[in-house]
Amino acid sequence: MLNIVLFGPPGAGKGTQSQMLVEKYSLVHLSTGDILRGEVSAGTPLGLKAKALMDAGSLVPDDVVIGMIDNKLTQHKGAAGFIFDGFPRTVPQAEALDALLAKHATNISHVLALEVGERELVARLVLRGQSSGRADDNEETIRKRVHEYNTKTSPVADFYKQQGKYVGIYGIGAVEEIAGKLNKAIAGTKVH
């Protein structure tokens, strides 16, 4: 299986690049942000709980997102592989993902990290906010999301560096150019 974690701060291009990778490698796309937004618009109890946290730019509790991923892995048993977009976002989530994949006799092939500086992230998301209608795409909340990333998510990079799976990719430039760099990194991936 080819299991890719697409890693990076909010606005780094994870969602954008996931679309390209999903088509090219026939992977199942698991975006915890998209799944949570689906719960919010369906008005489920989980969605109601998550909405306030997401609108404030805070992370949703680990047990909630881990449970969502566990369900999806079971639902898509037999898939060629997965692309994890926006998950894991904390070290406990990364540990849980390793355990869940082990249960399915597989593991993470590569962690592809889009590296983009804060000024560019804020500019991209403010621009998206003008058309997305997303309550969290305003400057104050974007800066809170970047702060959450710096404090809670960036340690996940070290977790994967210790496993020798982390590949940093410069994330500024044309979308196709960055996709090319991701494809090159995947070509060097050991597939289990």
CB of 169 to ligand B4P, least distance (A): 11
Name residues contacting ligand B4P, limited to 37-56 (CB under 6 A).
Answer: 53-54
Nearest to residue 12, comparing CAs of 128, 161, 110, 125?
A: 125
Binding-site size, ligand B4P (CB under 6 A): 28
Which CB atom, from 79 or from 142, has the smaller least distance to ligand B4P?
142
The correct pick among 30, 59, 113, 169 for binding ligand B4P (CB under 6 A) is 59
Q: State phi, psi for 180 to the nearest 5 degrees.
A: -60, -40
Which of 16, 107, 138, 189 is the binder for ligand B4P (CB under 6 A)?
Answer: 16
Alpha helices by DSSP H, the chain: 14-25, 32-42, 45-55, 62-75, 91-103, 118-132, 139-148, 154-162, 175-187
Q: Is residue 104 classed exposed, middle or buried when 0-12, 13-18 and 19+ CB atoms within 10 A define those classes?
A: middle
Please, which of residues 140-179 interact with ligand B4P by CB under 6 A? Answer: 145, 175, 178
Among residue numbers 105 through 124, which ones bind ligand B4P (CB under 6 A)?
A: 124
Residue 4 binds ligand B4P (CB under 6 A): no
Of 7, 82, 87, 160, the one binding ligand B4P (CB under 6 A) is 87
Closest CA to 157 of 142, 167, 148: 167
Chain centroid, CA 40 distance in Å: 18
Q: How far is the CB of 84 from ligand B4P (least distance, A)?
A: 9
